[in-house]
């Protein structure tokens, strides 16, 4: 989408200091969505809220006359559109600026509070984190409702993380023009435009419906990212009589050409030792296609399944180094690779959205003949369907079928041996400090595995701060087994993201594990209440080292380098005097807990109890006093 007046202010200008008023946004031939105001005039017109306005937002006031309320409001149509788009959940902290949409979700005559269901969050940041975790677990966007300037700013860091992590989310921003002036702006989206993919501020109900659908399409189209629509309260409450829902449109994914698909198929089938290197695909359907392609061609496969979602199943017989590492053709899918690769367009740095919303592809290639690079910028998941068609169309003869079968069997044998050898070595390595107190981070993971190995499970949190021992000890075989890091290494992400993953798991007999850092926990602990209120299958394992230990190490190093001693390095880096009682906090939010567990011999019993509760459909917290790293 183009700026309407780039000579006055670019999309980056707001944060770059070139101006304060946002530019108008034009939505596909629609009227301008907002009228930019000069910065000085906007500042001068901002007035403190009146007593009546404050009363409206903070006190019990008389509701409007029934005669002034339509029985068929615009917000009902918005809910119907979200339902048609397949949106399961809308998460929000309640606000006056989207009360119309809130009421329609919970009371829509056709299906009250179901598809979408309203999820209650206690903070806008954790609301977006929930959508972030859900989006990575499913490949689908959750909708987040945020209140104008203040709600959007509360959510800004979480939006930034989802942007960096390329996760689809649709943000609906409530606005109540004429109410509290400090809560509105001429260009609300400017607050987060550098790290959202697309935005609009429609003026009419039909435009709002078109914009919501376009936001959903943009969010799920590579490069996936959060999108935003400002939905004014008067559009939510306006009469919908005579307004029709827009025709549903499907996202258009960038594809490789038919010729390229046939070329890739022929190289895979003609290679004596082909390999697939699979990164992060969009949805579980992409993973299924990658598995099918590997099985049809006898290719061994590299995976990122123990680092993030939507990659190749780790325990599949074809997953591993293969019978030989002398690969004569390598196809990379959605990853920067030194081989022939297919990857979707990337959102680049924060300066990459000015024109088309697409940065530069990071694809590299290894050609059949040395010298010339091969590049393909497309969506791997969608393109896999074309490659599979080409493989099947190529047919098979007895010699090729026998070769592929023999190669697959050899890969399976070698990959199993490699997995067992690696596992034995990693287990021995992690036995160091096994009986130590506080509990070793390796034991934190290893003791849990027997309880969930035969369950349908998902790690919803980032795990790098607690050692990430699951990567070598567990088998990551589902598209959602490991959701990976926050994207931008921000703190406060894991609990909310795990709650979002648990929402995705709730109706599917799946349980979610959150390896929860104590520093991260204290940013937005209110997500516990959401987990309890919505009865989510979430096991929270506290990595309670009573410090921001990475920062403690930084300070310790610097004090040593400067020759000043480390006896005061704990100041500003540790959580002591008093120690935080995480079990008490959890119980205050309605989540049962155990701990703190300092004796590793007690850990198995704590996990057993936790799994029992989670499998009954309720969250549980195990507070473990742990080694620092």
- The pLDDT-based confidence of 346 (bands split at 50, 70, 90) is low
**Res. 620: pLDDT tops 60:** yes
Percent of the chain whose pLDDT exceeds 70:
83
Pairwise CA distance, residues 463 & 531, whole Å: 20
Looking at the domain assignment, is residue 455 inside a domain?
Answer: yes
How many domains is the chain built from? Answer: 3
The reported pLDDT for the residue numbered 279 is 94
- Please identify which residue in the block is written with the tokens 């009363």: 55
Looking at the domain assignment, is residue 451 inside a domain?
Answer: yes
pLDDT of 277-297, one tens digit each? 999 999 999 999 999 999 999
- The pLDDT-based confidence of 375 (bands split at 50, 70, 90) is low
The reported pLDDT for the residue numbered 60 is 56
Residues 500 and 596 in one domain: yes
The answer to whether 307 and 484 are in contact (CB under 8 A) is: yes
Peptide bond into 293 cis (omega under 30): no
The reported pLDDT for the residue numbered 179 is 77
The pLDDT of 343-366, averaged and rounded, is: 39
Residues 605 and 469 in one domain: yes
The pLDDT of 79-107, averaged and rounded, is: 97
Pairwise CA distance, residues 561 & 594, whole Å: 41
Residues 209 and 269 in one domain: no
Looking at the domain assignment, is residue 305 inside a domain?
Answer: yes
The lowest-confidence range among 86-90, 352-356, 419-423, 552-556 is 352-356
Residues 233 and 288 in one domain: no
- Residue with more model confidence, 418 or 21: 418
Pairwise CA distance, residues 108 & 70, whole Å: 13
Q: What is the CATH number of the domain that holds 315?
A: 3.40.50
Q: Residue 484 contacts by C-beta under 8 Å, 6 or more apart in sequence?
A: 136, 165, 307, 308, 309, 462
The answer to whether 127 and 496 are in contact (CB under 8 A) is: yes
The boundaries of the domain holding residue 366 are 258-422
The reported pLDDT for the residue numbered 47 is 62
Residues 340 and 488 in one domain: no
**Res. 451: pLDDT tops 60:** yes
Pairwise CA distance, residues 622 & 243, whole Å: 52
The reported pLDDT for the residue numbered 351 is 34
Residues 127 and 160 in one domain: yes
Pairwise CA distance, residues 495 & 157, whole Å: 15
The pLDDT of 63-80, averaged and rounded, is: 80
The lowest-confidence range among 94-108, 295-309, 352-366 is 352-366
The reported pLDDT for the residue numbered 371 is 36
**Res. 479: pLDDT tops 90:** yes
pTM confidence score:
0.86
Looking at the domain assignment, is residue 141 inside a domain?
Answer: yes
Coil, strand or helix at 41: helix
Looking at the domain assignment, is residue 157 inside a domain?
Answer: yes
pLDDT of 507-564, one tens digit each? 999 999 999 999 999 999 999 999 999 999 999 999 999 888 888 899 989 998 999 9
Kind and range of the H or E run holding 333: strand 329-333
Number of Cβ within a 10 Å radius of residue 616: 10
Domain finish residue from 181, 205, 237: 237
- The pLDDT-based confidence of 37 (bands split at 50, 70, 90) is very low
The reported pLDDT for the residue numbered 342 is 76
Residues 522 and 457 in one domain: yes
∠444-450-453 over CA atoms, to 5°?
A: 110
Domain finish residue from 372, 400, 422: 422
- The pLDDT-based confidence of 382 (bands split at 50, 70, 90) is very high
Residues 538 and 466 in one domain: yes
Q: What is the CATH number of the domain that holds 111?
A: 3.40.50.970
Looking at the domain assignment, is residue 51 inside a domain?
Answer: no
Across the chain, mean pLDDT equals 86
The answer to whether 143 and 87 are in contact (CB under 8 A) is: yes
- Residue with more model confidence, 43 or 259: 259
The reported pLDDT for the residue numbered 126 is 98
Kindly state the tokens that stand for 437: 């107190």
The pLDDT of 51-75, averaged and rounded, is: 68
The reported pLDDT for the residue numbered 340 is 67
Pairwise CA distance, residues 302 & 275, whole Å: 8
- Residue with more model confidence, 195 or 29: 195
Residues 367 and 454 in one domain: no
Domain finish residue from 368, 398, 422: 422
pLDDT of 138-155, one tens digit each? 999 999 999 999 999 999
Residues 283 and 384 in one domain: yes
The reported pLDDT for the residue numbered 49 is 66
Looking at the domain assignment, is residue 180 inside a domain?
Answer: yes
pLDDT of 97-121, one tens digit each? 999 999 999 999 999 999 999 999 9
Residues 417 and 528 in one domain: no
- Please identify which residue in the block is written with the tokens 């119907």: 80
The answer to whether 491 and 523 are in contact (CB under 8 A) is: yes
Looking at the domain assignment, is residue 2 inside a domain?
Answer: no
Residues 122 and 42 in one domain: yes
């Amino acid at each position: 989408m183009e700026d309407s007046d780039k000579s006055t202010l670019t999309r980056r200008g707001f944060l770059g200091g070139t101006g304060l008023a946002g530019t108008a946004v034009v939505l596909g031939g629609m009227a301008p969505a907002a009228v930019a105001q000069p910065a000085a005039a906007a500042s001068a017109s901002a007035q403190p809220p009146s007593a009546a306005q404050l009363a409206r937002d903070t006190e019990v006031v008389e509701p409007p006359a029934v005669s002034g309320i339509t029985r068929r409001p615009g917000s009902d149509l918005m809910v119907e559109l979200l339902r048609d788009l397949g949106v399961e959940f809308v998460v929000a902290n309640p606000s006056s600026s989207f009360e119309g949409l809130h009421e329609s979700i919970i009371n829509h005559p056709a299906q009250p509070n179901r598809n979408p269901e309203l999820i209650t969050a206690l903070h806008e940041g954790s609301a977006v984190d929930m959508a972030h975790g859900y989006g990575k677990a499913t490949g689908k966007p959750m909708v987040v409702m945020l209140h104008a300037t203040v709600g959007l700013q509360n959510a800004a860091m979480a939006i930034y993380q989802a942007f960096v992590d390329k996760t689809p989310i649709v943000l609906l921003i409530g606005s109540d023009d004429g109410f509290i002036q400090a809560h509105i702006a001429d260009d609300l989206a400017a607050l987060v435009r550098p790290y959202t993919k697309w935005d609009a501020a429609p003026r009419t109900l039909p435009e709002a419906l078109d914009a919501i659908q376009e936001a959903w399409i943009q969010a799920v189209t590579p490069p996936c990212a959060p999108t935003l629509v400002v939905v004014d309260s008067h559009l939510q409450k306006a009469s919908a009589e005579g307004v029709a829902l827009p025709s549903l449109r499907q996202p258009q994914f960038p594809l490789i050409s038919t010729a390229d698909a046939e070329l890739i198929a022929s190289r895979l089938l003609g290679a004596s030792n082909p390999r697939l290197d699979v990164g992060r695909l969009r949805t579980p359907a992409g993973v299924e296609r990658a598995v099918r392609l590997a099985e049809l061609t006898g290719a061994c496969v590299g995976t990122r399944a123990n680092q993030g979602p939507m990659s190749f199943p780790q325990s599949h017989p074809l997953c591993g180094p293969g019978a030989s590492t002398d690969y004569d053709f390598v196809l990379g899918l959605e990853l920067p690779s030194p081989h022939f690769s297919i990857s979707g367009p990337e959102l680049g740095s924060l300066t990459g959205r000015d024109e088309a919303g697409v940065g530069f592809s990071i694809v590299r290639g290894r050609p059949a003949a040395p010298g010339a690079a091969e590049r393909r910028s497309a969506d791997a998941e969608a393109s896999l369907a074309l490659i599979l068609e080409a493989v099947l169309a190529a047919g098979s003869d007895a010699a090729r079928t026998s070769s592929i079968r023999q190669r697959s069997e050899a890969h399976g044998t070698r990959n199993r041996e490699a997995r067992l050898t690696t596992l034995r070595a990693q287990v021995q390595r992690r036995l160091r400090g096994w009986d130590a107190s506080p509990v070793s981070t390796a034991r934190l993971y290893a003791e849990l595995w027997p309880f969930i190995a035969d369950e349908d499970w998902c790690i919803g949190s980032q795990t790098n701060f607690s050692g990430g021992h699951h990567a070598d000890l567990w088998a990551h075989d589902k598209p959602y087994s490991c959701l990976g890091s926050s994207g931008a290494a921000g703190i406060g992400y894991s609990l909310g993201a795990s709650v979002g993953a648990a929402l995705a798991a709730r109706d599917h007999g799946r349980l979610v594990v959150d390896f929860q850092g104590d520093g991260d926990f204290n940013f937005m602990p209110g997500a516990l209440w959401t987990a309890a209120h919505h009865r989510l299958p979430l096991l929270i394992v506290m990595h309670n080292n009573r410090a921001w230990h990475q920062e403690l190490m930084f300070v310790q190093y610097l004090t040593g380098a400067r020759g000043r001693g480390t006896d005061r390095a704990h100041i500003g880096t540790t959580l002591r005097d008093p120690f935080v009682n995480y079990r008490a906090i959890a119980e205050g939010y309605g989540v049962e807990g155990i701990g703190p567990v300092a004796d590793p011999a007690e850990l198995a019993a704590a996990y057993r109890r936790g799994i029992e509760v989670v499998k009954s459909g309720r969250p549980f917290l195990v507070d473990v006093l742990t080694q620092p790293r």
